[in-house]
Structure 1
Amino acid sequence: MKKIYLGLLTFGLLANLIQAQNTISVEKKYTKEIARLAKDKKVKVAFGQIEEQKEQTTKDHIKLTEILAAPFKEDKRGVAFAQLLREAGLDSIWTDNVGNVIGLRKGVSDETGYVGIDAHLDIVFPEGTDVTVKKIGDTLKAPGIGDDTRALANLISMLKAMNKANIKTQKDVLIVGSVGEEGLGDLRGMKYIFNESGLDIDSWIAIDGGSMGRVSNAGLGSKRYKLLVKGKGGHSWGAFGLANPHHALGMAIDVFSKAAWEYTSGDISKTSFNVGRIGGGTSVNSIPFESWMEVDMRAISPKNLEEIEAIFKSSVEKAINEYNSSGIEDEVTYELIKIGDRPSGELSEDIPLVQRSMAATEYFGVTPSLGRGSTNINIPVSKGIPAVCIGRGGSGGGAHSLHEWYVNDEPHEESIKLALLITLAQAGLDK
């Protein structure tokens, strides 16, 4: 019995040690900083304003949801969002070369570097989708109602509250409705801001996700390709034996799947691969002249992402060469088209922005958890620029489906207050 007890004690100590190693540590100085901010008279006024305008925030939420923002077609929603920003009050508003709607709220100091906070304008649904909001009790239903339209309404509410409470920040703040977050948008809005706009970004806060608690400080990288295989095409009987793009594509899938599975099953951090879409052909009795597939590969490690990409490319080349050498008549050709490139990256939990985000989350009685996702912060994080992604709040489900729903079950609009506290902590509250 004594041996069993000692064994259990040792196991328990080990388990506690592992748990302690995985426990998120929030430094006291950031806990105190957030508490001081929350007690500031002007911040308290802003909190009250956020609660008072809850009904209007819901109206803004519905208004924006009912303006379809299909991939690469965000302009109409962008115009409406810009108007709401203008009505809320900003020093300047502009739409950049790719469609990001950017509002500037000037700080009082000469410190350089903007603090940006954004929600994305686009949703996954194509043109023609019915985005009429249906209200059933306290539940709002419509495609895109949660992801990420609610976050846009949160930004408007936060901005209004800052202005009504006459809050001044030390640094300039950018409030942004970004484009291209979803799917083949490939983070084009963030890529432009951080690579081409010339804006000096000090730090970035994205609102995208579910309820409060999760703080993403890492970006899950991905590589996406479209493989296009072409041949002459012909009749399935009369031209039998002619090179068939579908057959070549099938061989490419087989070769890649085997090599990729062996690689991802090895001793590496999590890496994935997926053939998500396949198409081509004209009829069941025709040899197709074209065949295509779309492939998604993801990895925590940038190195692993490069390696799985290399495996994909070499597998395709090997498969096509083998197929063309198999005795078929003529041959197929292929083209690899990159349709997505999201870099990986991770920030330490010790940096001020991450600490402030966790401390602010704790202030509202919620236990923070650090996470990784494929969001707008992938770009700044990959460059080492402080960035976090926080939730839009409330409850919801059915994301990316026609049955998406959202319930604002936060009586005191805590998620909007959370965004405000993090922004003020990062930009500095002027006394």
Structure 2
Amino acid sequence: MDMKQIVTSLLLVFFLIPSLSVAQGNQAIEKKYTKEIDKLAKAKKVQAAFDHIIEQEDQTMKDLITLTEVLAPPFGEDKRGKVFASMLVDAGVDSIWTDKVGNVIALRKGTSGTPGYVGVDAHMDVVFPEGTDVTVKKVGDTLKAPGIGDDTRGLTMLLSMLKAMNKADIKTEKDVLIVGTVGEEGLGDLRGMKYMFNESGLKIDSWIAIDGGSIGRISNAGLGSKRYKLVVSGKGGHSWGDFELANPHHALGKAIDVFSKDAWAFTAGDISKTSFNVGRIGGGTSVNSIPFESWMEVDMRAIDPKNLDRIEDIFIKSVEKAISTYNASGVKGEVTYKLIKIGDRPSEELPASLPLIQRAMAATQYFGVEPSLGRGSTNINIPVSKGIPSVCIGRGGQGGGAHSLHEWYMNDETGAESIQLALLITVAQAGLEK
């Protein structure tokens, strides 16, 4: 092929292939969404809202301290919910309520009257138990306290966004729900979102969750998990006087051994990433007592829903095999067991071509950040599993130590940008009143 032919071929490719902006992970942003976001971001009311977000940064940080110091332990989000609800009322909403499971839901009415909500949320719960010291300590520009980032920062972003929309007199075509959700962490098992999408009766068309780290990270897929508590029970007795009596700890150890071997064999195969973990073990009364109860908690995760079902099946069968083998090993009496499912998060993925995901990528790119699609275990697992357009975006700023007593957050220029980004995606999805 001579140079003229090469040039001709390249020109054909250029004119025949639609213009695309490439994002990380070989994802692409359609040009129409880039134009849509650029036009929306330049609208006078949106620019005014952006300015308000910057102007109220000091108050946003004060809100962060206030909310962080109201502990919201697992299954104990009520106190924080009341404070957050009061802040939403002060910011200005059309109506507000707390649902059956504790989600705080504020409605900002749209102008079109068409059914279907655009939801935007941050979760209120933290991983820390009742009694944890959540007093915020300031060290230079850094705020330190358990839960200050994950996800209390997200709650303050919702407040700042709402205030800015009201101050700039932004009206959306669709109704917007601004929600502080419960039960995102650990054994909460996404109970807030499960209620919203399975029992609330609300017609939700799309969802934007604020959780995670830096600006630019966009989750459009849910990492599924299955979690169980295995409880093994026996008669119990004295370590010397009742020697040879069936021992729940020994049986539990056998279950771990059998499951680990069978699960390793499966996960080592030619499959997408699948994991398993024994995270907690407990039981027993003293070193010289045969325990009457032993327990463990197991976490299994997979990208592919079929693999998640398979690793769950392996676990259940491994436990049954291990307990039967142990009881037949010559011990006196036997142990019994009970399996309790303590977590079930679905694993699914939404295509990058969906308008909400395209808008999230285009909006991210508007702020000069290369968008990166990914997968996580977040509130969007539920709507994603139902095929409802959903994304999870980051909190911005700098932070670290999540789920630890030394968690910290420091605001920087990406802090305000992350709020502006949330607003831009929300308004794009809900439609700016013409």
2:203 matched residue in structure 1: 200
Aligned AA (2:220): N
Residues 1:412 and 1:338: Cα distance change in structure 2 (over 3 Å):
closer
What's the offset of the Cα at 1:343?
A: 0.5
TM-score by length of 2: 0.94
Which residue of 1 is the match for residue 134 of structure 2? 131
Name 1:392's counterpart in structure 2. Answer: 395
Deviations, residues 41-100 of structure 1 (Å, cap 9, x unaligned): 111111111111010001111100000000000000000000000001000000000000
Say whether residues 1:101 and 2:104 are aligned partners: yes
Aligned pair partner of 1:298 in 298, 301, 308: 301
Cα displacement (A) at 1:211: 1.1
TM-score calculated relative to the size of structure 1: 0.95
Aligned partner of residue 373 in structure 2, secondary structure: strand
Equivalent residues of 1:204, 1:380 under 8 A apart:
yes
Residue 153 of structure 1: aligned partner: 156
* SS of residue in 1 equivalent to 2:333: coil
Following the alignment from structure 2 to structure 1, what is the Cα–Cα distance between the partners of residues 362 and 23? 18
Q: Which residue is 2:341 aligned to?
A: 338
Between the aligned partners of 1:121 and 1:48, the Cα distance in structure 2 is 27
Which of 319, 323, 326 is matched with 1:320 structurally?
Answer: 323
Q: Deviations over 1:284-331 (max 9, x none)?
A: 111110000000000001110000000000000000001111111100
User: Partners of 1:354 and 1:340 in 2: how far apart?
Assistant: 27
- The one of 79, 83, 87 equivalent to 1:80 is 83
The amino acid of 1:82's aligned partner reads: A
Partner secondary structure for residue 253 of structure 2: helix
> Contact conserved, 1:51 with 1:412, CA < 8 A, in 2?
no
Match of 1:310 among 299, 304, 313: 313
Post-superposition CA distance 1:91-128 (Å, at most 9, x none): 00000000000000000002211000000000000000
Does residue 382 in structure 1 map to residue 361 in structure 2?
no
Q: How does 1:31-430 map to 2 (within 5 A)?
A: 31-410=34-413, 413-430=416-433
- Residue identity opposite 1:243 in structure 2: A
**In the alignment, what sits opposite 1:13?**
none
Aligned AA (2:169): N
SS of the equivalent of 2:29 reads: coil
Name the CA distance, whole Å, in 1 between partners of 2:112 and 2:296: 53
Structure 2 residue identity aligned to 1:258: K
CA shift digits 1:328-356 (9 cap, x unpaired): 11000000000101010100011000000
Gaps of 5+ in 1: 1-18
CA distance in 2 between counterparts of 1:234 and 1:30 reads 69
Query: 2:24–2:373: 8 Å Cα contact kept in structure 1?
Result: no
- Residue in structure 1 matched with residue 3 of structure 2 by the alignment: none
Secondary structure in 2 matching 1:151: helix
| Residues 302/36 of structure 1: CA separation in 2 closer, same or farther (3 Å cut) | same
SS at match of 2:138: strand
- Aligned residue identity for 2:401: G
> Deviation digits for residues 195-252 of structure 1, max 9, x if unmatched?
0000000000000011101100000000000000000001111111110000100000
Using the alignment, how far apart are the partners of 2:300 and 2:337 within structure 1? 20
Q: Which secondary structure does the structure 2 equivalent of 1:175 belong to?
A: strand
Pick from 12, 25, 33: which aligns with 1:30? 33
How many Å separate the matches in 2 of 1:134 and 1:327? 58
8 A contact 1:273–1:298 mirrored in 2: yes
What is the CA-CA distance between 1:22 and the residue it aligns to? 3.9
Structure 1 residue 176, shift from structure 2 partner: 0.2
Cα separation, 2, equivalents of 1:412 and 1:267: 41
* Cα 1:20/1:427, change in 2 over 3 Å: closer
SS of the residue 1:400 aligns to: coil
CA distance 1:412–1:247, change in 2 (3 Å): closer
- The 2-side partners of 1:281 and 1:42 are apart by 63
